[in-house]
Amino acid sequence: MRLENKLNGVSKNLLQAAVVLWFVITAPWAAAAEKISSVRVWNAPDNTRVVFDLSGPVKHQLFTLENPNRVVIDIAGAQKTNALDLVEIKGGPLVNVRSAPQGNGTLRVVLDLDRKLNPKSFLLKPGDQYGNRLVIDLESLSGRVAGNSAAGKPQAAAKPKPTVTKSYSGISGGRDIVVAIDAGHGGEDPGAIGAKGTREKDVVLQIARRLYNVLQAEKGIKPVLIRNGDYFLPLAARRDTARKKYNSDLFVSIHADAFSNRNAKGASVFALSRSGATSTLARVLAEKENQSDAIGGVNIDNADVMVTSVIYDLAMEGSMEHSIKVGSLVLREMGSVTRLHKPHLEQAGFAVLKSPDIPSILVETGFISNPAEENNLRSKDHQVKLSRAISRGIIAYFDQHPPPGTYIAMRKQHLQATRHRITSGETLSTIAVRYRVNLASLMQYNDLNDSDVIRVGQVLRIPNS
């Protein structure tokens, strides 16, 4: 009996030791397990981004499966949470998100897709309003116009601009002037946030759409929206989309300031600077706006950026001169509808403006950090006033400097043509001979038909011979 008690005591001690050993082995793993606090989905025209917000750093592996199409992500040492069951699917190719813990302590997440896509993944360290993140980019197989891979590489020349036949008072030919409107930030990157929770990315998209509508009504101008939804675009992708996809004649990036001093107020217009910012605020704003890639998640090769900057510098002079011209005209018009931070155009090293062959400006519509201006930026009436003012500046610039071969250039040439006042005894034929122009061209230029009668004192426009 005494031996049996001793054996029972040894068994209890062994059991207790085993339990303690199990806790010693498993406790570090349990403590190290990271939680997924939320899952966010952003749909862009050429890709879908899925972001896992994490409580700490993790390691992961990714692979794809077909029939049906799936992307599988194994996240080591991560816990399954309710966030994985409450993912808001916003349309697009992502159909469903499933997850289940594996026996080796890994959490498996499966993204069900409605088509085959090219997945890319990367981890982001904590910064600003975000903690650790695992980002999955699901890109279309046809490829994007410009993406993360284009962020630091030299840009190819834009395609020749297509000719679109137009008609103006008998003059045909000429293409539309293409204006690329870039709403800053978006998706993963909310931009500045006002005291009432107004997000820069929302306000500037609204203003960009209003500017699009105003310019669309202008004959000879074709506006395009670089971002027309709530999704993230790298800075280089914005430039490349304007150049390679749309062959734009002008790039306008719309933003809303924020500053630590809530009393700071007023709109500004910026052009690129190669020799430093024109003010401390300009430098601070440029540095902040250039952080967009870091917030949204772009890996940039610094060596490539150095090479690219040299290439840019060689081609930048002409576009920078015209950037200053159009920016000054836009600023003048904005001053008629809102307070200006400074009465002159400023310059700083905004990365989004570094297109070597397109005049580019950045419009800060006001300080969203200023309570009064936050209210204005939320106002539909104020947004309309701003968009009309910006459009007037753009139109004034192209009236003065229309690109050759455009409809507006031909219209300007038409309006500046030689004028002739008809005197007694003159005929269309004698006038055509005098100015060495074709009779049919003279009639077409003045919207005249064979049945029309000309009168003494009537003024004709004479086309260039």
Q: What is the CATH number of the domain that holds 435?
A: 3.10.350.10
Based on the domain organization, do 403 and 421 belong to the same domain? no
CATH code at 69? 2.60.40.3500
Q: What is the pLDDT confidence band of residue 268, given thresholds at 50, 70 and 90?
A: very high
Is residue 288 situated within a structural domain? yes
Nearest-5° Cα angle at 94, 92 to 95: 105
Whether residue 369 has pLDDT greater than 80: yes
Dump pLDDT digits (tens) for 172-196: 668 999 999 999 999 988 999 999 9
Is residue 19 situated within a structural domain? no
Query: Distances from the Cα of 434 to the Cαs of 429, 458, 460, in angstroms?
Result: 9, 17, 13
Q: What is the pLDDT confidence band of residue 162, given thresholds at 50, 70 and 90?
A: low
**Last residue within a domain, chosen from 81, 108, 139:** 139
Based on the domain organization, do 159 and 213 belong to the same domain? yes
Based on the domain organization, do 320 and 434 belong to the same domain? no
Instruction: Note whether 139 and 120 are within 8 A (CB).
Output: yes
Dump pLDDT digits (tens) for 33-68: 788 999 999 898 888 999 999 989 999 999 999 999
Based on the domain organization, do 70 and 211 belong to the same domain? no
Whether residue 156 has pLDDT greater than 50: no
Q: What is the pLDDT confidence band of residue 167, given thresholds at 50, 70 and 90?
A: low
Is residue 13 situated within a structural domain? no
Based on the domain organization, do 343 and 246 belong to the same domain? yes
Is residue 431 situated within a structural domain? yes
Q: Which amino acid is at 420?
A: H
Residue 83 DSSP SS3: helix
Burial 405-433 (b: 16+ CB within 10 A, else e): ebbbbbbbebeebeebebeeebebeebbe
Check residue 221 and give left, alpha or beta (phi > 0: left; psi -120 to 50: alpha).
Answer: beta
pLDDT value, residue 445:
82
Q: Regarding predicted confidence, which is higher, 299 or 464?
A: 464
Instruction: Note whether 226 and 181 are within 8 A (CB).
Output: yes
Based on the domain organization, do 216 and 243 belong to the same domain? yes
Based on the domain organization, do 72 and 167 belong to the same domain? no
| DSSP β-ladder status, 94-101 and 47-54 | unpaired
Based on the domain organization, do 263 and 395 belong to the same domain? yes
pLDDT value, residue 301:
44
Is residue 395 situated within a structural domain? yes
Whether residue 239 has pLDDT greater than 70: yes
Based on the domain organization, do 265 and 311 belong to the same domain? yes
pLDDT > 90: percent of the chain = 50
Whether residue 412 has pLDDT greater than 60: yes
Q: What order do you get walking across the sheet with 47-54 strand by strand?
A: 78-79, 34-43, 47-54, 132-139, 118-124
| Domain of 386, in residue numbers | 152-407
Is residue 18 situated within a structural domain? no
